[in-house]
Every structure is written in structure tokens, then in C-alpha cells.
């Protein structure tokens, strides 16, 4: 498990993996920093059939966009251990020869790595992924107009190196990978390291703290959907699906049912969940659609062409906004804050502001006690 934004983590066993925010811009940039191509993350705000269908049929004329897996963030509960997995309707973790051939699963052995580990679980299990050869770059030829994920050299080498490892050693390999850890930590906040005292142990989370955890759901070529949770002993089979070309989102519905089963174990007032899908980069099928319209003689000023071009422009603006937000996450604002406090103190305004802040805090506590 890891903290979610300002929430306390359970513990820190490694000391060198930071917490990162559950955000599609963060996760997409993290994936791309590994050299992965043709993918992005998108948030799901509803689990109804129509919302799920928009993943594979996002625009008119595109009905087979790739969906590689789902990433689910939830509040971790102590009863969510493998010992009670079957009681929650999630089945029994598979181990040894029971694990399907070709299914990549790694146990989480370092703290705060669950977000990156869930992402890697999807990437390493992506169907028809283009894997780079040793000593050579990935070739984009034959990527089916972006539907095939390009894994990149870094992750291709890692997958090849760990392909025969047991789940615990795979987890150790992830935690020991300088490339993966450095990419992960680059999305942490620089002030977190400044504010932490390395001479003092981090506070253990209590039952009053909110602790969050990431897991993944992926389809497998054997027609089953698996839940990949690094805190379990192995993958958990959550259901079967028919590999029907006419209904490509069948496996997503199976995963949806498993997620809803998890949600049923929480209070109806609990809202601290987040669900994202690792999907095909929208720009790839927008460009494909644009080229298809041009090939049949559609003029650039045709409404259909204008609509696709506006969608592409919106995607580029979204990427630019992600880059801006990530730059702000990386920036260290502490020097500015220190200088601001120094200026306030020098101008004689600090005492008045501190008194006002204390008064406001006291009034807030009183209101909370009354409610």
C-alpha cells in the first residue's frame, strides 16, 4: 500500500520509493519515461455498459481501440489479506503450476511501489505487445496503427530477464531496478524529501489513517480475467470471457463485476476510489480516422474532418496541460515559501497573520466539536 496524496503510508521498508499521485497525466508520463509507446491512461467515472463501451469505441468510425488493462485504487483494509480473499468473492490466489503460462505476476516487496507495480502488471501482460530485441530499439512497424503496445527497450529487457523468476524475486527485481525506481521517484514531490527527517523512523499507520493500494485487472489469452495484487501470493482469477471480435469489451465487464464485488465490502458512503484504464493513445486512432477520410476524398473543411482535427487539437492541449502539471509537481516550492516567510517577518506582518491563523483554527475546531 501507499499513501494517496496527503494520506499516511503504512510503513517504509525500503526508504527510497516515494509516493505518487493517482493521476492519468502522471501515470501516462511515467509509462512514456520507460520508452513505452501507443498508450495512455484515462479515468473511468462510471461502470455502466455505455461508459465501458466508450473505451473500445471512443469515436464514430472506431470500434476496436485497444484496452490493455484496468488500474484500481481503493482504501486498503486489514481484512483484505489473502486469508480472506475467498470470503470477499475474489477466489484463491494461484501459485506454482496453477498460474497460467505467460501471465506476468510479481509480489510487492517494497513499500510505495504498488502504483508502478500495478502499471507494470498491465504492460507486461498486454496482448500482442511489441517487445524490443536485445541491443536494438523497438520497431514501430506492424503496430496496427497504434493498437499494439510498444514496450520499449527498458521494459523489454526487464521482462526478458525476469521471465523465469518466481513472483517474489520479480518483486525484488522491480524494487532493485534503478531505472524503474528513478522513473517512479521523478514524479514525487521534492519537498517531501526535504521535510522528512532521515534520523527518525516514519510513523506507522494506525487504524485511523487512510491507506490506499493499487491493483490491476488484465485479460489473458486463455479467456480469463485476472486480478493482479502484489500483496497476494499469486494472481486471482475473477471470471471468464468469450473472445468475440464483435464484443471486444467483454473482459472489461468481467473486471467491472469483480470491482463492484470489492466495492460492496465498503460502506455506501465511502467514495475514496479511483479507476483508470490503460488504453490506446487517442492520437493514434484519430490520425488513422483522419487518414481514412482523406483517402476517400473528404475535403479538409468537411465537418467530419474538422471534428477529428479538433479532437486531435484537444488531445495535444491535454498533453501540454499534463506536462505543465508534472513540471509543477517536480518543482521545489520550499525556497519560495521560506523567502515569503522571511519577507513577512521583515515587514512586521508575521505576528498578525499567525494570530489570525490560530484564531481561525480554534474556531474551526469548535465547529467540528459541535457537529
For the annotated catalytic residues, the residue numbers are: 114, 213
Euclidean distance between CA atoms 342 and 121, whole angstroms: 47
Angle at 293 between CA 288 and CA 295, to 5 degrees: 90
**DSSP annotation string for 265-311:** TS-TT----EEEEEEE-HHHHHHHHHHHHHHTT--TTSHHHHHHHHH
Residue 311: exposure state from Cβ atoms within 10 A (0-12, 13-18, ≥19)? middle
Residue spans of alpha helices (H) in the chain: 24-33, 49-56, 114-124, 153-162, 167-176, 178-185, 190-195, 250-263, 282-295, 303-330, 334-346, 350-370
Neighbouring C-alpha atoms within 13 Å toward the C-beta of 87: 7
- Euclidean distance between the first and final Cα of the chain, in Å? 32
Euclidean distance between CA atoms 43 and 228, whole angstroms: 19
Alpha-carbon distances, residue 94 vs 102, 229, 238, 242 (angstroms): 14, 12, 11, 22
SS3 215: strand
Contact 239, 225 (CB under 8 A): yes
Contact 96, 166 (CB under 8 A): no
Amino acid at each position: 500500500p501507499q499513501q494517496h496524496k496527503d494520506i499516511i503510508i503504512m510503513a517504509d521498508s525500503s526508504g527510497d520509493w516515494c509516493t505518487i499521485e493517482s493521476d492519468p497525466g502522471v501515470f501516462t508520463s511515467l509509462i512514456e519515461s520507460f520508452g513505452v509507446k501507443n498508450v495512455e491512461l484515462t479515468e473511468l467515472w462510471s461502470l455502466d455498459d455505455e461508459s465501458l463501451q466508450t473505451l473500445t469505441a471512443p469515436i464514430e468510425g472506431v470500434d476496436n481501440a485497444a484496452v490493455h488493462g484496468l488500474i484500481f485504487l481503493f482504501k486498503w483494509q486489514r481484512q483484505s489479506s489473502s486469508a480472506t480473499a475467498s470470503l470477499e468473492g475474489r477466489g484463491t490466489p494461484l501459485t506454482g503450476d496453477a498460474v497460467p503460462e505467460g501471465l506476468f505476476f510479481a509480489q510487492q516487496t517494497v513499500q510505495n511501489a504498488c502504483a508502478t507495480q500495478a502499471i507494470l502488471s498491465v504492460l507486461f501482460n498486454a496482448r500482442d505487445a511489441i517487445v524490443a530485441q536485445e541491443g536494438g530499439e523497438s520497431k514501430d512497424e506492424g503496430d496496427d496503427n497504434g493498437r499494439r503496445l510498444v514496450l520499449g527497450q527498458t521494459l523489454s529487457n526487464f521482462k526478458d530477464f525476469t521471465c523465469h523468476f518466481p513472483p517474489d524475486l520479480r518483486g525484488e527485481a522491480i524494487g532493485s531496478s534503478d531505472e524503474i525506481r528513478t522513473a517512479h521517484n521523478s514524479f514525487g514531490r521534492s519537498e517531501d524529501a526535504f521535510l522528512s527527517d532521515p534520523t527518525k523512523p516514519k510513523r506507522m499507520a494506525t487504524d485511523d489513517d487512510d491507506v490506499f493500494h493499487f491493483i490491476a485487472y488484465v485479460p489473458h489469452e486463455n479467456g480469463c480475467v485476472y486480478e493482479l495484487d502484489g500483496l497476494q501470493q499469486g494472481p486471482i482469477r475473477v471470471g471468464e470471457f468469450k473472445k468475440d471480435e464483435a464484443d471486444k469489451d467483454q473482459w472489461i465487464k468481467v473486471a467491472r463485476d469483480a470491482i463492484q464485488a470489492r466495492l460492496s465490502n465498503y460502506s455506501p458512503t465511502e467514495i475514496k476510489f479511483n479507476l483508470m484504464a490503460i488504453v490506446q493513445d487517442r492520437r493514434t486512432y484519430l490520425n488513422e480516422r483522419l487518414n481514412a477520410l482523406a483517402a476517400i476524398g473528404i475535403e479538409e473543411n468537411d465537418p467530419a474532418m474538422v471534428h477529428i482535427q479538433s479532437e486531435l487539437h484537444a488531445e495535444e492541449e491535454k498533453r501540454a496541460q499534463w506536462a505543465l502539471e508534472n513540471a509543477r509537481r517536480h518543482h521545489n516550492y520550499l525556497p519560495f515559501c521560506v523567502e515569503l516567510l522571511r519577507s513577512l517577518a521583515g515587514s512586521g506582518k508575521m505576528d498578525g497573520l499567525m494570530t489570525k491563523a490560530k484564531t481561525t483554527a480554534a474556531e474551526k475546531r469548535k465547529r467540528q466539536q459541535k457537529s
